Amino acid sequence: MITSGYRRPAQNEKLNATMTHTSGQAVDVSVAVGWVQKLIKIALEESLTGIDVKQKG
């Protein structure tokens, strides 16, 4: 599930986030347990960069 995509600069600043969201070059997603490795594999196969994984819980 996409949890965040484009952000207005003011919104991004409040979150102290990188500027890639304000230029439409970033997306945050939430995946079910066990799917992180599969998502990373697909992203790498598609030559996506800047992959960051954060775990909740």
- Segment 1-57, tens digit of pLDDT: 888 888 888 888 888 777 888 888 888 888 988 898 999 999 999 998 888 888 776
- Domain spans, the chain: 2-45
Q: Look at residues 38, 36, 5 and name the one whose alpha carbon lies nearest to residue 21.
A: 5
pTM of the prediction? 0.65
Q: What is the pLDDT of residue 46?
A: 95
pLDDT attached to residue 57: 64
Q: Which residue has the tokens 């304000």?
A: 22
**Tell me, what's the pLDDT at 44?**
94
pLDDT in the model for residue 42: 93
